[in-house]
């Protein structure tokens, strides 16, 4: 027997017990009910009620395109756990991350994913089934830019033009330049706050 000093119940003898779900139960002589102090569960899929849920009108049989896609080593994939398939499901810490394939098996792929542990970022190797990965579009913009730059270099070489330094680099979106605004059928309007009026 021990005493429960919180909530002014220290003068009553209390029996403390724990269950398998790490919830603390306090049973004493001061009441006939059971006081339960809630704690966070430590389950493997804790907090995944909405994470692994299927989208609206996306339940049911998985389309064949998921299984017919060909993955190769070096491809980038987005990890997105599908709650309809429990086998080969990634841990919730990898959900939504992008990784690179290093191994391809009959039903699954091996993915290298960066994971932050303390002050380090460690490349982790995990195996997930193909139902839980999607082809990533993270390099599409880069590859398109490389192709466009090669075409610009080839065109400049044919014309004998020297490209300006930094002309092939990405530029941030610039503000609008100075321009004239026509007022025909577009008269300027004075915008001012409306005075407050009490309506009973």
Q: Is position 155 within any domain?
A: no
Q: Is the pLDDT of residue 63 over 80?
A: yes
Round to whole Å and give the CA distance between 119 and 183. 59
Q: Is the pLDDT of residue 36 over 90?
A: no
- Containing 50, the helix (H) or strand (E) segment is none
For residue range 148-188, list pLDDT tens digits in order: 999 999 999 999 999 999 899 999 999 999 999 999 999 99
Three-state secondary structure call for residue 65: helix
What's CA 172's distance to the chain center, in Å? 26
Residues 6+ apart with CB under 8 A from 29: 12, 13
Same domain membership, residue 75 and residue 28: no
Q: How confident is the model at residue 23 (pLDDT cuts 50, 70, 90)?
A: very low
For residue 86, the enclosing domain spans 65-135
CA dihedral 135, 141, 143, 147 (to 10 degrees): 140
For 74-101, b where at least 16 C-beta lie within 10 A, e where not — what string?
A: ebebbbbbbeeeeebbbeeebbebbbbb
Q: Is position 168 within any domain?
A: no
Domain count, the chain: 2
Three-state secondary structure call for residue 91: coil
Q: Give the residue from 59, 80, 197, 177 showing the smallest Cα distance to 130.
A: 80
Q: Is position 6 within any domain?
A: yes
Percent of the chain with pLDDT over 70: 83
User: What does the DSSP assignment read for 16-31?
Assistant: EEE-TT--EEEEETT-
State the pTM of this model.
0.68
Name the domain boundary from 77, 103, 135. 135
Name the domain boundary from 135, 161, 194. 135
Same domain membership, residue 131 and residue 76: yes
Name the domain boundary from 100, 119, 135. 135
What pLDDT is attached to residue 20?
A: 52
């Amino acid at each position: 027997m021990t005493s429960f000093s919180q909530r002014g119940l220290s003068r009553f003898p209390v029996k403390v017990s724990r269950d398998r779900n790490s919830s603390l139960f306090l049973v004493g002589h001061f009441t006939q009910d059971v006081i339960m102090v809630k704690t966070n569960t430590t389950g493997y899929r804790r907090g995944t009620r909405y994470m692994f849920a299927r989208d609206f009108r996306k339940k049911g049989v998985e389309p064949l395109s998921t299984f017919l896609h060909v993955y190769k080593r070096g491809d980038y994939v987005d990890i997105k756990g599908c709650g309809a398939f429990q086998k080969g499901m990634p841990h919730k810490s990898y959900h939504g991350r992008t990784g690179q394939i290093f191994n391809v098996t009959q039903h699954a792929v091996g993915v290298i994913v960066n994971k932050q542990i303390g002050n380090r970022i460690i490349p982790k190797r995990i195996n997930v089934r193909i139902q839980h990965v999607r082809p990533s579009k993270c390099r599409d913009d880069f590859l398109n830019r490389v192709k466009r730059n090669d075409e610009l270099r080839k065109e400049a070489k044919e014309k004998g033009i020297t490209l300006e330094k930094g002309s092939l680099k990405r530029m941030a979106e610039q503000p609008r330049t100075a321009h004239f605004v026509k007022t025909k059928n577009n008269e300027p309007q004075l915008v001012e706050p409306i005075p407050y009026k009490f309506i009973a």
